[in-house]
Amino acid sequence: MKDFTVKTAIDFELPPVFRGRHLIDGTWTESVETFERVSPSHGKVVSVSARGGEPETNAAVSAARRAFDAGVWSRLSGKERATVLLKVADLIEANVERIALFETLESGKPISQSRGEVGGAGDLWRYAASLARTSQGDSHNTLGEDMLGVVIKEPIGVVSIITPWNFPFWILSQKLPFALAAGCTVVVKPSEMTPSTTVMMGELLLEAGLPAGVCNIVLGYGQPVGSLMSSHPDVDMVTFTGSTGVGKLITEASATTLKKVALELGGKNPQVIFPDADLESAADAVTFGVYFNVGQCCNSSSRIIVHEDIAEQFVARVVELSRHVKFGDPLDPDTQVGAIVTPEHNAKIDGYVKGAVAEGAKVEIGGETLSVSGLGTQFYQPTVITNVTSDMAIARDEVFGPVLSVLTFRTLEEALALTNDSDFGLSAGVWSENIHNCLEFARRAQAGTVWTNTWMDGYPELAFGGVKQSGQGREIGSYGFEEFLEVKSLVMRVGRSRAPWVQTGE
């Protein structure tokens, strides 16, 4: 263990078990069955939630449909919708500690990260509120003296929102406020591994005065809840964040009704490092990019493509930094990297590492389960792997853990070829002091986001999403808001100048 910086268990009294219920048509609802969530870091039950099925899902969709058709939200002014969203933002910031604690207990992420994500989510709600008041269409006054054309935007209708376990509160806030700002009504299903903070969001929505039926929450599993939310004929759109495999299943389930589908899926995101880069900053960003959220992040920079001339020294620096990253008890405010979400996922990560070694790759650091005193073994060592070739599974698949694969290049063309040789296209990064290299890479990299001399900076104003098998559609920003709107053209004749089509001879 001397190679790693490990934060052992701190003395902390866990809160009472959280009891999660569905929110359907403004009413908190139980189910006959329940399910438990055991904290991945502490090994104790931290929440017990109602387990929904078809009856609860149908009731939630019906409530959302009635609310939308009645216009209790969709026909309000942008100012009225924005007022509620701004109240939610204030309430989020007033409840950061409570929400962040259960975010950490259910997901295993460090408490400092949970606080940042929950507190920062308020800014997403405020930005969405601004869009509710500024949405606009187009007018066409050039169609002739007797015609006027107007293009307006209307809420798409009932939206199913299905969120993942790795950023349960943040990703919900990338979707929900934008759908509400557009005037949609929604049904939300959080991951069964991290349901509680979504229920807490429901509490804040009611407190802020959101009308009954506008936001409904159903707790449970993908089968049958998520599947029915994707295929239900009264749902107009599905927005999902999660694995590419599940995204494909959702697309199939939605096909029977041809509803709109927005998907934010996996990534195998590269950072390309040129010899003229600020190597110290690049090494720190690479270390952050692969270990943030224990690598359980669609934006994880899980592979780096380093120029051959600097590869050895650069990898050595990343390995040294890896030794100083604080792994361990996520309730310790100093911890930077917490627990792996489930034992099964921990084993999956280890399988990728062992498979790479069998194919000839070399582990420079890590490569094993990490044991933390007082907390057990649901952790994984910071891992850096060299001698990786582009055909290896560890270079192509989304490992979703604290594992960095290292490839090398000699020319910009080769770096771009390696970058784009992937089924995914979520994010990419380039490090160079040569603006020409940065611009050419940014223009030619097949990715929804390209970072230059930085990694994972994001803002509510900037759209997020991927290409290829990383998904379709965009979240946040004005483009993410537009996903929840339909375009309608109004064609209006001025006066009675139209000649009759039927000639009666009179």
Catalytic residues: 264, 298
Nearest to 87 by CA among 210, 202, 191, 212: 210
441 in Cβ contact with 415 (< 8 Å) = yes
Instruction: Using alpha carbons, select from 75, 448, 456, 132 the residue that is nearest to residue 262.
Output: 448
AA letter at 330: P
Cβ burial, residue 398 (10 Å; 0-12/13-18/19+): buried
What tokens appear for 70 in the block? 């009645």
- How far is 282 from 455, CA to CA, in rounded Å? 9
In the block, which residue shows the tokens 């935007």?
153
> Could you tell me if residue 242 is left (phi over 0), alpha (psi between -120 and 50 degrees) or otherwise beta?
left
Structure tokens at 281: 């900053």
Give residues with Cβ within 8 angstroms of 188, minimum separation 6: 161, 162, 163, 172, 176, 198, 215, 216, 217, 218
Let me know if 503 is exposed, middle or buried by CB neighbors in 10 A (0-12, 13-18, 19+): exposed
Name the helix (H) or strand (E) containing 156.
none
